[in-house]
């Protein structure tokens, strides 16, 4: 069983809308999360990290972590066509461990 | 941040041959990582390479099949030996800075094995 599960597999939202992506870790040791975004033909780029319970906001992106349920979400408000990409959730067992396990990804399409 | 340059961008090779992928960082980094990604799927960590020591391989990846060199703090190569169609994927080198857990990735090398 994959340690990091993402949902949905794909998502379409209208331009200006809100996109919500979900991620759950099945391993209680994996409590530190990053969100990465990968545009077609490029390498993944880190969007933001979240290590503590609650919300973390960076511009149009808000991550929410619930450590009790090991669930993390990413919300993108005012979605733009340039946000269309593959989004990965990555989880690690501690902040000093580079061994992040990546989920299978969510394909986001923002429709103009 | 770290900028990582990979060469080649893509390669096509015949089954049974070997090919080499190079990764150059714009600054010195302690560790370089190699990831494999099948078409728009998850990223799998293959190995970690530190300067002057043998690379550490993850389950499912071996030194004989994917030898990695790390001769200095800015350079690493990944070799794919005895390439098979099942090795067709995108290979990324990655690294991080000491002060941050953020991973930086190269643009990737798309390998097609015929």
* Predicted local confidence at residue A50, as pLDDT: 95
Tell me, yes or no, if B107 comes closer than 8 A to chain A by beta carbon: yes
What are the residues facing A101 on neighbouring strands? A91
- Whether the pLDDT of residue A14 is over 90: the answer is yes
Per-residue pLDDT band for A96 (boundaries 50, 70, 90) equals: low
Higher pLDDT, A17 or B102: A17
Pick the residue of A7, A44, A109 with the most B CBs within 10 A to test the interface with B by mutation.
A44
Pick the residue of A34, A97, A98, A109 with the most B CBs within 10 A to test the interface with B by mutation.
A98
**Chain B residue with Cα closest to A98:** B101
Check B42 against A102: CB less than 8 A apart.
Answer: yes
Number of C-beta neighbours around residue A69 at 10 A: 9
In the DSSP assignment, the letter for residue A93 is S
Q: How far apart are CA B15 and CA B26, in angstroms?
A: 33
- Whether the pLDDT of residue A2 is over 90: the answer is no
- Whether the pLDDT of residue B4 is over 90: the answer is yes
């Amino acid at each position: 069983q994959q340690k990091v599960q993402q949902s949905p597999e794909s998502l379409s939202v209208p331009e200006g809308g809100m996109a919500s992506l979900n991620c759950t870790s099945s391993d209680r040791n994996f409590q530190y999360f990053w969100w990465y975004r990968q545009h077609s033909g490029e390498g993944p780029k880190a969007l933001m990290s979240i290590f503590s319970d609650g919300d973390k906001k960076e511009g149009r992106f808000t991550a929410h972590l619930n450590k009790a349920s090991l669930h993390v979400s990413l919300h993108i408000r005012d979605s733009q066509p340039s946000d269309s990409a593959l989004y990965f959730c990555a989880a690690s067992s501690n902040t000093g461990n580079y061994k992040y396990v990546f989920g299978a990804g969510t394909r986001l399409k923002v429709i103009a | 941040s770290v900028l990582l340059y990979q060469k080649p961008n893509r390669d096509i090779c015949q089954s049974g041959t070997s090919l080499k992928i190079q990764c150059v960082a714009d600054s010195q980094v302690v560790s370089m990582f190699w990831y494999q990604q099948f078409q728009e799927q998850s990223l799998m960590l293959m190995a970690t390479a530190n300067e002057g020591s043998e690379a550490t391989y993850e389950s499912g990846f071996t030194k004989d099949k994917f030898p990695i060199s790390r001769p200095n703090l800015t350079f690493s190569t990944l070799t794919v030996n005895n390439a098979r169609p099942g090795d067709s994927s995108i290979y990324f080198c990655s690294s991080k800075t000491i002060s941050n857990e953020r991973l930086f990735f190269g643009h990737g090398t798309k390998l097609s094995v015929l």
